[in-house]
Amino acid sequence: MLCKPNEADYAVEMVANSDLSVLQTAMVRYSDLEELTEQQRLRDIEKEDAWCEDHYKILERMGDQGLKTTTLLQTQSNVRPVIRS
């Protein structure tokens, strides 16, 4: 799990395959709430959008350092619910 400072409610779960050639990420919300409120749903979208923006910046910096990456599957924000943990 990767968390941003001062954002304990959200993290990004990262899972790699055995040879570390594929990395899968997913947004996770830490919450005890059973039902999702509209306000929480909007906050989830906001956090997903922020993560995606940071993800693109990281990929760009990696490219600037000569590291090649390929996106195999990309899901837009709000297509899948944020994982609740």
Domain boundaries defined on the chain:
10-84
Structure tokens, 18 = 């055995």
Convert the pLDDT of each residue in 18-74 to its tens digit.
998 999 988 999 987 778 889 988 999 999 999 999 999 999 999 999 999 888 888
Contact 11, 48 (CB under 8 A): no
CA distance 55 to 13: 13
Contact 85, 28 (CB under 8 A): yes
Model's pTM, two decimal places?
0.77
Q: Provide the pLDDT for residue 35.
A: 81
Q: Residue 55 is inside which H or E element, if any? A: helix 38-64
User: Is the pLDDT assigned to residue 82 strictly greater than 80?
Assistant: yes
